Amino acid sequence: MKVTLDSRLVQPGEYFVPVKGDSLDGHAFIEQALKHGAAGVIEVEELYRMAQAKLKRVQPVIVGVAGSVGKSTVRAYLTQILSSQLRVLEGDLNTQLGLSVAIVNDLSDQAVFVAELGIDRLGEMQMVTDFLRPHLTLISKLEKEHLQFLFTFDNVVSENMVAIANSQDRKGYVNQADKPAIEPYSQGLNIVFYPDHIPSSVRETVSNLDLPSHEQDYLLGIYQVVKDNFGFSDSDFVNSLQHLRKPKGRLTRLAGENGSLIIDDTYNAVCDESVIRGIEFARAVAVREGRDLVVILSPMRETGASEAEQHRTVADYLNTLDIKDLILVGEKSDLYTRFLDTPYRVYQDWTEFAYTPSPSTLFYIKGSQYYRLEKIVYLLMRDKDKAAKLLVRQDARWT
């Protein structure tokens, strides 16, 4: 049996799960789903019961991946590395609903379920981990995410620590940089900090990868997880890196028109630190390859009371750089421009965008999902016929 949450994506024979959201009620689309060939309708609570029954029957080791930034990258890398030795199911839709769909549709005999744990509301982590009960949790990095709804960084930390406290083994792997933030919440928990006590041979292999430093840290955290919990040797881990692939829209290199290069970071922009780290990586690539850096950004959303502060932090950083062009896309770009000294241009949305690159141009493109900057990547990329394979948000939900 297969299920889907979106009436536009129903395939003949699948069951439609109508979800009642803040603005739309999926029950209004039942007729559309049936016209698309849905075999029937399953309510949300039945979906949850089916998912939990399947988890109980298959009994995979469940690894939760939490954090403010980098969750999707960590989840993708961890899945790829574990898959070199084990059968793994990847849960990339990071809500209780999305994870339930992955379980019902795709869990069969996999030994491991790598489940991304996303939140944007207080109490949500408790709910999803009560449902899933991961055996252990890996936290990528804690930053100022979703402050419109989580309100304070302290709430961000406490919500993510629930993923460890509510795991079956009360065990978690946490970035060393977050140690001061989590200490008030770590009593009674088994916390392993990374990167720490990593063999020099493993460190050297990871440092030689063409990845930003924060992603190298993520890989060292993954090394600790697979060594401690899945019996990987150092050589097992190193060998698994040979075919590592970057997930779409997360600092992904793409060929651009006229010989230009695109670093596609359009999956999302949730806080100032993630934007700055992305620009730093792109700038390093531009310097190494002798290219002219063009930065294309949208405003950040869901920043709450920190909105002005976070945009100013990014603007202040941009003011220190010598870049060819800075292009801002979105109706709230004045969040940046009020603090900018460096030259810039503004487009109200992606439909206005136009740019003719030279062979030496390197585009760094990052934005909140709302602004759909992957549309700009499409305009600039060389192999437009491969967009469905290379870019994020390409199915019927986004047309």
Q: Which residue has the tokens 């970057």?
A: 246
Going edge to edge, which strands form the sheet with 40-41? 3-4, 15-16, 40-41
pLDDT over 80 at 399, yes or no: no
Choose the weakest-confidence range: 117-121, 222-226, 370-374. Answer: 117-121
User: How long a stretch of residues is the chain?
Assistant: 399
The DSSP result for 29-63, as a single string, is GHHHHHHTT--EE--HHHHHHHHHHHHHHH-PEEE
141 burial class (0-12, 13-18, 19+ CB within 10 angstroms)? buried
Give, in degrees to the nearest 5, the angle at Cα 378 between 209 and 243: 25
Give tens-digit pLDDT for 239-268: 999 999 999 999 999 999 999 999 999 999
How large a percentage of the chain has pLDDT more than 70?
Answer: 100
Mean pLDDT of all residues in the chain?
Answer: 96
Instruction: For the beta carbon of residue 46, count every other beta carbon within 10 angstroms.
Output: 13
Q: Are strands 252-255 and 261-265 parallel, antiparallel or unpaired?
A: antiparallel
Banded pLDDT at 228 (limits 50, 70, 90): very high
Q: Which residue has the tokens 């992904």?
A: 252
pLDDT of residue 327: 98
pLDDT of residue 211: 95
Give tens-digit pLDDT for 294-350: 999 999 999 999 999 999 999 999 999 999 999 999 999 999 999 999 999 999 999
3-state helix, strand, coil in the chain (%, to 5): 45, 15, 35
Give tens-digit pLDDT for 80-94: 999 999 999 999 888
C-alpha to C-alpha distance for 38 and 8, rounded to whole angstroms: 11
pLDDT over 90 at 197, yes or no: no
Amino acid of residue 143: E
Sketch out the chain's domains with CATH numbers: 3-42 (3.40.1390.10), 49-243 (3.40.1190.10), 252-398 (3.90.190.20)
| CB 201 within 8 Å of CB 234 | yes
pLDDT of residue 48: 97
pTM (2 d.p.): 0.94
pLDDT of residue 92: 86
Q: Are strands 88-91 and 61-66 parallel, antiparallel or unpaired?
A: unpaired
Residue range 271-278: mean pLDDT, rounded: 96
195 prior amide bond cis, ω within 30: yes
